[in-house]
Chain A
């Protein structure tokens, strides 16, 4: 009992009795993003429902919502009541949105919805609800554009990129084509990408395609605009974890070169969930890094990519760097680096450099 409480009190742990590890990672990183950004529920002002105005004075109302949020964060990070924490944070943000008509924000609505969905999820339902939430977001976004002529004739993108943002690179690129052509193509691509994402995330065998397409779509948006649209970028990227098969254990071959042993040691030091399992091999061991997860073996750079990817601490650090405003000027470069680092093409390229052949890095 005491041991369980101590384990739960570690904010860096990612195992929980009520939720699968991947959803714990989603909840904690999402909460971390809100804390770094200093996001709070919106203040009471012109609520959608009049009765909300009569509940309490605006100051008291906001204090209660902030109290709910902070209590939620404490439950989420330091106790076994992770789902209750998610419910408090999600409800506080949703009530804040409903209490303030001028504060309408799709980004904060999505964050609130994610926390509520996490609170309603369980080991039995797994990531199903979160997956459907992602599908709902893209299907809704697509449907809202589908019937708008300005998305098909380029008017929307022209206004966004030229009139509103006077985006130099966009204007220069658009000048290479006939008038409105680039804006028309961008509008149509956006509609079809969102449609494709909502379809890809409905079918297990298309999840990976959806993830690559989605990360490229949102990554390009960040690179172009250098903004995160509030907490939206991190929230959508982190919810893609719902489509990833989170390993119960990663076996790393511990023999071989010194750097491999150092890497294994470093990962073990931040492994609070005992995810990594060292495998002793006879002799000098394989010449390349080798890991086994979900019944498949990976070698070399592909193995290294996965070790970095399946590490919640590294993931939290990436979220911190992408969210913290001081790194704002570098954000587009960080996103570009991450997209390139994790791209399958990069795996093939590094493998080619190392081995001189394009042999697959999996078995």
Chain B
């Protein structure tokens, strides 16, 4: 690279790029593009995470947890999963499945819990989700 080229500024320089293009703006656009990617990705999966889906569904559910033949109380369920034993999910019922699965495969693995989740999405038919998967 000649001195003349450098002086004329026609060669690529990251410093000049950062100065002229405002690095904050570039990072901001990257941040927004990441959000757009998550919104698009959400259209092809059942879960809804970080994709601007506030109150997209109303799923009513009841969770029954059995460990060593004993049914957990509602308080114990709340403590164990940070989730109410009976309530509403407003993003996707698959978020609840994912949460319970992750818990039973990590924090609660040694308990060998048996879970039954009864739910209705937007007042539709009643369904049951069971753990461990059969």
Asked if A268 CB lies within 8 Å of chain B CBs, one says: no
Which listed residue, B28, B81, B106, touches A117 by the CB 8 Å rule? B28
In the complex, are the beta carbons of B31 and A116 less than 8 A apart? yes
Task: Identify the stretch in A4-12, A72-80, A98-106, A249-257 within 8 Å (CB) of chain B at 4 or more residues.
Answer: A98-106
Q: How many angstroms between the C-alpha atoms of A106 and B90 in the bound complex?
A: 10
Asked if A265 CB lies within 8 Å of chain B CBs, one says: no
Residues of B within 8 A of A121 (CB): 24-25, 28
A128 and chain B: residue at smallest CB distance: B25
In the complex, are the beta carbons of A155 and B24 less than 8 A apart? no
Asked if A164 CB lies within 8 Å of chain B CBs, one says: yes
In the complex, are the beta carbons of A103 and B82 less than 8 A apart? yes
In the complex, are the beta carbons of B83 and A144 less than 8 A apart? no
Kindly name the residue among A101, A129, A143, A144 whose own CB sees the greatest number of chain B CB atoms within 10 A.
A144
In the complex, are the beta carbons of A104 and B49 less than 8 A apart? yes
B residues 80-134 near A (Cβ < 8 Å) are 81-83, 88, 91, 95, 98-99, 102-103, 106-107, 121-124
Shortest beta-carbon distance from B90 to chain A in Å? 9
In the complex, are the beta carbons of A140 and B28 less than 8 A apart? no
Shortest beta-carbon distance from A229 to chain B in Å? 7
Query: With A122-B24, A136-B35, A144-B51 given, is the CB distance from A101 to B98 under 8 Å?
Result: yes
Q: How many angstroms between the C-alpha atoms of A125 and B83 in the bound complex?
A: 42
Interface string of A122-160 (1 = CB under 8 A from B): 101100110011001101110111011010000110111
| Contact residues on B (Cβ < 8 Å of other chain), bracket | 35 or more
Residues of A within 8 A of B27 (CB): 120
In the complex, are the beta carbons of B52 and A136 less than 8 A apart? yes
Shortest beta-carbon distance from A286 to chain B in Å? 44
In the complex, are the beta carbons of A140 and B122 less than 8 A apart? no
Q: How many angstroms between the C-alpha atoms of A113 and B33 in the bound complex?
A: 13
Residues of B within 8 A of A102 (CB): 81-83, 99
Asked if A264 CB lies within 8 Å of chain B CBs, one says: no
Asked if B6 CB lies within 8 Å of chain A CBs, one says: no
Asked if A246 CB lies within 8 Å of chain B CBs, one says: no
Query: With A46-B106, A102-B83, A144-B52 given, is the CB distance from A122 to B22 under 8 Å?
Result: yes
Query: With A46-B103, A101-B102, A120-B24 given, is the CB distance from A160 to B35 under 8 Å?
Result: no
In the complex, are the beta carbons of B53 and A141 less than 8 A apart? yes
Residues of A within 8 A of B124 (CB): 150, 155
14 sampled A-B residue pairs with Cβ under 8 A: A46-B102, A101-B98, A102-B83, A106-B52, A106-B53, A106-B91, A107-B54, A119-B24, A125-B28, A129-B29, A139-B52, A144-B43, A147-B43, A159-B60
Residue numbers of A with Cβ under 8 A of B are 45-46, 48, 50, 97, 100-104, 106-107, 109-110, 113, 116-117, 119-122, 124-125, 128-129, 132-133, 136-137, 139-141, 143-145, 147-148, 150, 155-156, 158-160, 163-164, 229, 232
